[in-house]
Chains A and B, each alone.
Chain A
């Protein structure tokens, strides 16, 4: 051995710890712990409150909630709001395709269509609340155009109020769908579309055969997100546009508002918890159903 000899450190013994299939869970454990703490604790507290009254375990809170005509109305309204989901999907798809096709001034159109989505819901609520008054700008324009017969008390009449609110929700949520679909469309290799065109496919066929299949995964995602929005994320719209009343009468009452009013205005936390637990189960049902359908059809799984 000479003085130039480099002495290597002894080889480190490799750890015998093999996490194997557990490894992914170890990586996500810190985040999982926070999620379990935040949501797990809340869910346990929710379940407990919904099943107790005056210190006793009972299912009566659920019976009382489910027999409440206002709660049933609220659930019915959420179900009606779900009708907006196919409208949202079809409209966003059409508009994103038009933008993708290079519609003249598409940058401006894209900006204009996405703008509503970045506006705060209270701002939208206040502005539309003003515009849609019986003597508001919308009706003033209709009257000026000689279409006074079409002027309605959009938010003040029970037969119109929920549909009007649906329209406002669609207007805002559309932007999200457009950006989502457009982003996916821009990532599709252009030669697929060129090949389709060379094979003689025109607008309708091209997009039915190429675009929609390419976008299927994103479409399913958007449907799930919007379905959840309509069931349990419309509180802000209703609260701002009806001053927290869900009126006129109970024409725009939705489940979230019912929970809020029952818990914080009428001080019945056990009834509010029963309603919230019901809403959670319904929402969970939606998610499970969508993923079940997705798995069975294979849409968007192998992308």
Chain B
């Protein structure tokens, strides 16, 4: 009897071991190999990210080399896109149904807009649920139960970086509240120091400002979604307050005088050079600034708090993503490469190279050693939704980019900017009928 029991136990243990092995194998990227079509495979990946995660180019090159070594039948070509060209280039490729197999997308609507257009395949059709469950912020890329693009790295959106030495010299403590920020602007200006360095020439910073300042006045993401769909208005106090705050920054001369003729990345250098006390940076890029300024001199914080809403004083959290194009002949291989990017060794290498947090719960957070990154990680762990990902790109560009340029240049005021935003939203509801229908369905999932 004991012998029989022993055999049963032994068989069970072996079976369990085999199952466990199979289970483990299914977690790794190579486990899908059995399902992967054979034969030579050529993949093209259009991506963006070196601009906000310095070192990403080297990491991707290395990752491709390692993957090709592992799968000699696969060749991957990567093409780095410019910030202004990322979206139009992909839209043109989509129109021709020819171009990349793997495409980079910002999160939220930036990813879903192409899903709605039929330009991407749902990533959740190719990546197992158990794997996707680890990907951080995948919810914002989810529509009708499917995840459309796979989070790659987290974008803490967007921290204020400050020069401890410059502020101390001016007798200013890092401002944590709105009132303190405006007061700091007055003090720093009196001492000939630019309080905040920024640039809106290329527009994008206007969207950032809306997200990091505007989010503080709303009670939930629905406020923005409702205004977009027409259930509420962008002139409603919760949303219009953003423009008032921005006008306050302008009136207190918080920004560099050439904010309208500088792009953001160039303008940030004034903080590095010590000419400005603070700037706003991509959270994924903080390591670069620490290297340039010095660990002891650089501070990190969220945009000073002004509202009482749930997102006030918090940092936005989004993930930059990659998706599989609708026309690719190799969706399985594309998905396998994306999963390989999430392998523990690659994630550790990504963080070491770029300093940006991989968008994966399996990332070994013990690797975070820089104090600035620790603060950032803490902020992003309790982060809020990133507002810019919840408005149509056309509204972002025609209202939030454009009106920020006009307001900061002294050519409009807060009420006019809010009214102009509402007008653009109304127009988009008229011209982007298909997109708005999908947007409404998507926004319903945030109720």
Contacts and interface: CB of A to CB of B under 8 A. Distances in A.
B261 A155 contact: yes
B230 to A, nearest CB: 17
Given A158-B409, A244-B202, A266-B393, 13 more contacts: A68-B427, A68-B431, A132-B261, A135-B257, A135-B261, A156-B261, A243-B203, A245-B401, A247-B201, A248-B200, A263-B91, A264-B91, A264-B95
Contacts of B427: 68-69
Interface in A121-178: 132-136, 153-158
B260 A248 contact: yes
Contacts of B423: 69
Interface in B71-96: 84, 87-88, 91-92, 95
B409 A248 contact: yes
Interface of A is mostly: loop
B431 A153 contact: no
A245 B431 contact: no
A64 interface: yes
Nearest to A242: B201
18 contacts: A133-B261, A133-B262, A134-B257, A155-B201, A156-B258, A157-B409, A158-B411, A242-B201, A243-B263, A245-B201, A248-B200, A248-B260, A248-B402, A261-B397, A264-B92, A264-B95, A265-B91, A265-B394
A232 to B, nearest CB: 19
A9 interface: no
Given A247-B401, A248-B406, A267-B91, A156 B431 contact: no
A267 B430 contact: no
A260 interface: yes
Nearest to A133: B261
A70 interface: yes
Contacts of A263: 91
A132 B258 CA distance: 11
Nearest to B407: A249
A158, A260, A261, A264, most chain B CB atoms within 10 A: A264
A265 B88 contact: yes
B146 interface: no
Contacts of B397: 245, 261, 265
B263 A134 contact: no
Contacts of B398: 70, 250
B142 interface: no
Contact of B406 (A155, A249, A260): A249
A134, A135, A155, A248, most chain B CB atoms within 10 A: A248
A64 B405 contact: no
A250 B402 contact: yes
B117 interface: yes
Nearest to A250: B402
Nearest to A268: B431
A271 interface: yes
A271 B405 CA distance: 26
Interface of B is mostly: helix
A133 B203 CA distance: 16
A157 B113 contact: no
A249 B85 CA distance: 20
The 3 nearest A-B residue pairs measured at CB: A156-B260, A134-B258, A243-B202
A132 B257 CA distance: 14
Contact of B260 (A68, A157, A264): A157
Contacts of B394: 265-266
A153 B409 contact: yes
B386 to A, nearest CB: 20
B84, B403, B431, most chain A CB atoms within 10 A: B431
B432 interface: yes
Contacts of B403: 249
B60 interface: no
A239 B403 CA distance: 19
B348 interface: no
Contacts of B113: 267
Interface string B367-411: 000000000000000000000000001100110011101100101
A263 to B, nearest CB: 8
Contacts of B430: 64
A245 B427 CA distance: 18
A250 B435 CA distance: 23
A265 B394 CA distance: 8
A283 B200 CA distance: 33
B276 to A, nearest CB: 13
Contact of B411 (A134, A157, A265): A157
Interface in A260-292: 260-261, 263-269, 271
Contacts of B258: 133-135, 153, 156
Contacts of A239: 84
A249 to B, nearest CB: 4
Contacts of B91: 263-265, 267
Contact of B435 (A132, A245, A247, A267): A267
B61 to A, nearest CB: 27
Nearest to A61: B431
A265 B401 CA distance: 14
Given A245-B397, A245-B401, A267-B113, A260 B88 contact: yes
A64, A247, A265, most chain B CB atoms within 10 A: A247
A134 B194 CA distance: 15
Contacts of A154: 261
A272 to B, nearest CB: 11
Interface in B257-311: 257-263
Interface in A57-76: 64, 68-70
B208 to A, nearest CB: 15
Interface string B192-232: 00000000111100000000000000000000000000000
A153 B434 CA distance: 40
Contact of A271 (B117, B201, B263, B431): B431
Nearest to B114: A267
A64 B426 CA distance: 13
B275 to A, nearest CB: 11
